[in-house]
Amino acid sequence: MVDQSDLPFRKLARQYGSNLCYTPMIHSRLFLEHKRYFESFNLFVDEAKEDGPVFAQFCGNDPTIMANAMKKFNTKFVDAVDINCGCPQGIARKGRYGAFLLEEGDLLVSIVENLVKELDCRVTIKVRILPTGIEDSLALYRRLVDAGVSLMTVHGRTRHQKGQLTGAVNWDHIKMVVDAIGDRIPVIANGGISNLDDIRRCLEITGAAGVMSSEGVLEYPPIFTGTNTVATSGKRTGPGRLAIAREYISLEEKYPNKQGGQASGIKCAKSHLQHFLYEDLQSGGEVADEARRKLHCSKSTADMREVTDILERLQAERGHKVEEEKLGWYMRHRTEGEDEKETKLDIPQVELEDDFSGCFGGMIGETGECGGDGDGDY
């Protein structure tokens, strides 16, 4: 996830049961051309290889540039390279990559063939359903398997389903993919996962080899454990969101993502806190406003700790119960009418990355909010 699956976050997710993580998406051409961008991805701090298995995800549309970028990447630390054919954002349309590349089938197949020939590690792919329908999608996916992809993750939505139009994911389509190619390569289902019950249902309905979560795990990393199960009690029995935020801050201090953690430093860390603590930050009132202002202007992990202290006060005042916590950020585009309930306050908000493509900026130089270098210094 762009500027979000940084090393500290991957560590956190693994601690709570994720058994395969991806690097943030790497832009192949920028990786070859920009020294700072290259360094932010290539310097793994985790040389002990504790962070595995991990796939490095790339985007691009040129067979040679993609192969050169992947060769230049330190592939000894990763278990596969993945092609992003899922990104639906404007920048991907402009760059002819992500979900838009799926609509250039011949080019995509030639990219896969070239990578399989040129690289000494496995090549995997993340796809969406084509806007022209599932039959066209299946025909393309079969060609991709023929070309040599070793694993396919299917986000069961089309590229039109994003932001306010996200809507429900189609697990029946993912099942059709599993039926079509699941005997040749593992198919991973993506979309619609907010707790352990969803995971069980998804695996049952789709027959997929596994599930991928993005927004659910970003908001509450223990969703892969039994601590967030709806069927058993509807109650959260695992750590509360404040505890998770603090765990992340500690990992961020241990593995500063600016030094090899593959993200943009403070901007990335602030986004994580925004996701973990969304419900508190959006809850309205003076204390929540203060916490949002503080988070917006945070320049260090110490500042972010102060945000958690403010919210601890807020939770105490409100008689907050961890077992009653629910996912809020994940649900914002999934429950009808929920968007209107979002508190709109007249203070700067930490950017929510519905258009996560803007995050490239943080990695190759950009002025931060509240003045100074957007990358922070810690």
Give binding residues for FMN as ranges.
Answer: 57, 126, 155, 190-192
Min dist CB 65 to ligand FMN, Å, is: 18
Min dist CB 352 to ligand FMN, Å, is: 9
Does residue 348 contact residue 293 with C-beta atoms inside 8 Å?
yes
User: According to CB under 6 A, which residues from 82 to 141 bind ligand FMN?
Assistant: 84, 86-87, 126
CA distance 85 to 124: 11
Three-state DSSP class for residue 83: strand
Binding of ligand FMN at residue 1 (CB under 6 A)? yes
Nearer to ligand FMN, 4 or 170 (CB): 4
Structure tokens at 89: 């954002």
CA distance 178 to 188: 9
Of 115, 185, 193, 268, the one binding ligand FMN (CB under 6 A) is 193
Does residue 224 contact residue 199 with C-beta atoms inside 8 Å?
yes
Backbone angles phi, psi at 316, to 5 degrees: -65, -45
Contacts of 39 (CB under 8 A, 6+ apart): none
Residue whose structure tokens are 């490239």 = 360
Contacts of 247 (CB under 8 A, 6+ apart): 12, 15, 239
Active site annotation includes 268: no
Stretch that binds ligand FMN, among 60-68, 207-215, 282-290, 296-304 (CB under 6 A): 207-215
Structure tokens at 220: 């509450």
Stretch that binds ligand FMN, among 42-50, 211-219, 228-236, 288-296 (CB under 6 A): 211-219
CA distance 174 to 211: 11
Min dist CB 281 to ligand FMN, Å, is: 16
Helix (H) or strand (E) holding 139: helix 134-147
Binding of ligand FMN at residue 170 (CB under 6 A)? no
State the catalytic residue, choosing from 59, 85, 87, 202: 87
Neighbours of 23 (CB within 10 A): 26
Q: Which 8-state DSSP code applies to residue 216? A: H
CA distance 54 to 40: 16
User: According to CB under 6 A, which residues from 44 to 73 bind ligand FMN?
Assistant: 57
Min dist CB 351 to ligand FMN, Å, is: 11
Three-state DSSP class for residue 299: coil
Number of residues that bind ligand FMN (CB under 6 A): 21
Stretch that binds ligand FMN, among 72-80, 188-196, 237-245, 304-312 (CB under 6 A): 188-196
Structure tokens at 179: 């039926």
Of 27, 155, 236, 241, the one binding ligand FMN (CB under 6 A) is 155
Binding of ligand FMN at residue 216 (CB under 6 A)? yes
CA distance 247 to 7: 13
Min dist CB 86 to ligand FMN, Å, is: 4
Stretch that binds ligand FMN, among 32-40, 177-185, 210-218, 337-345 (CB under 6 A): 210-218
Binding of ligand FMN at residue 25 (CB under 6 A)? yes
Binding of ligand FMN at residue 213 (CB under 6 A)? yes
Give the binding site for ligand FMN (CB under 6 A).
1-2, 4, 24-25, 57, 84, 86-87, 126, 155, 190-193, 213-216, 353, 356
Residue numbers annotated as active site: 87
